[in-house]
Amino acid sequence: MSSARGGDARSSAERVSLDVPSESVEQTRWLGAILGGLLGPGDVVLLHGNLGAGKTAFTQGIGRGLGVAATINSPTFTILKEYAGRLPLYHFDLYRIEDPGELEALGFADYFAGEGVSVIEWAERGEADEAEGADAPWGADALRVRFERGAGTARLLRVAATGASSRRLLDGLADAVAREVA
């Protein structure tokens, strides 16, 4: 595991990040399960990556960590699937969203600040262009995970946080992975 974490004295806008390698789909699920065990009400996880990069496998792991018994698959055509676990899991897939304004029109804002956990695949499709000056509907404090493909089933998960809640998640993930590697 390599890390690019910030120091102890961080400004509220400072981005803190961590790079975590995964050698298999099951390891990607395992990393998701670790994160799922750390998630609390209102937490938001934004997933970025190409088709087949591991976003849904990671979400399946998050579901495992939240105690979801149901089979988790991508809600590409329905945009949102809800699962019951220790906390509700709201699994979004924004692949078919063409304009970030569609999320507001669909009434999803309440999910992002609710009592459950929101995991959003293709999150970039729900974010307005920074030049427009609009905020994302889920707010600034979200854990962002970028999936980069390696050879075969290998992936590099680039995890970034900017707010207090997402930093707590990133630090917890880093600590849990470090314990497993040690």
* pLDDT computed for residue 127 by the predictor: 83
Give the span between the Cα atoms of 82 and 76, in whole angstroms.
Answer: 13
What residues contact 99, with CB distance under 8 A and at least 6 apart? none
Strand ranges for the chain from DSSP E: 2-4, 16-22, 44-48, 80-83, 89-93, 117-121, 143-149, 155-161
Give the span between the Cα atoms of 101 and 105, in whole angstroms.
Answer: 6
* pLDDT computed for residue 27 by the predictor: 94
* pLDDT computed for residue 9 by the predictor: 36
Neighbours of 59 (CB within 10 A): 31
* pLDDT computed for residue 67 by the predictor: 97
Higher pLDDT, 64 or 131: 64
What's the pLDDT tens digit per position in 110-144?
888 889 999 999 998 888 765 444 577 888 899 99
Over residues 8-32, the mean pLDDT reads: 79
Residue with the two structure tokens 């404090």:
141
* pLDDT computed for residue 2 by the predictor: 42
- The length of the chain in residues reads 182
Residue with the two structure tokens 């979801």:
68
Domain limits of the chain? Answer: 18-181
Over residues 29-55, the mean pLDDT reads: 95
Over residues 30-35, the mean pLDDT reads: 96
CATH numeric code, 18-181: 3.40.50.300
What's the pLDDT tens digit per position in 72-87?
998 878 899 999 999 9
- Check whether 15 has a pLDDT greater than 80: no
- Check whether 93 has a pLDDT greater than 80: yes
Rg (CA), the chain: 15
pTM of the model: 0.87
Q: Mean pLDDT in the chain?
A: 86
Higher pLDDT, 33 or 125: 33
Higher pLDDT, 160 or 97: 160
